Amino acid sequence: MAGKFVISKRSNGEFQFNLKAGNGQVILTSEGYKAKSSCEDGVASVKKNSQDDKRFSRETASNGKFYFNLTATNGQTIGTSQMYADANGRDDGIASVKANAPGAETVDETG
């Protein structure tokens, strides 16, 4: 089963997307966008930038957990992962984004 981008609306009215793996697990979450078109541009940016390993920044949170950010060519963060217990989990998450993002369909749940 292929991955998919799910566009939804936050309680504050902003749009966001989640990239879900084929098993339904969320592997990347966007920032909030004021306009749906900007959110859709973010999806396109993930599809493009997810194929360049240099666009992934591997981070460690203050609580010792691991996560990553996917950045655009201008350095802006376009998506953030969940927290992982170890670096291997984080690296598996990056591999999952690389594998799922390019061909993922977009599902709009904003009505």
CATH of the domain at 99: 2.30.29.80
pLDDT of the residue at 1: 64
Express as a percent the part of the chain with pLDDT over 70.
99
pLDDT digits (tens, 9 = 90+) for 36-88: 999 999 999 999 999 999 999 999 999 999 999 999 999 999 999 999 999 99
- Smallest CA-to-CA distance from 25 within 87, 92, 102 is with 92
CA atoms within 13 A on the CB side of 58: 13
Q: Which one-letter DSSP state was computed for residue 110?
A: -
Q: How many domains does the chain have?
A: 1
pTM metric for this prediction: 0.94
The whole domain housing 65 covers 4-108
Q: Are strands 4-9 and 105-108 parallel, antiparallel or unpaired?
A: parallel
DSSP annotation of 22 reads T
Q: How far apart are CA 94 and CA 111, in angstroms?
A: 30
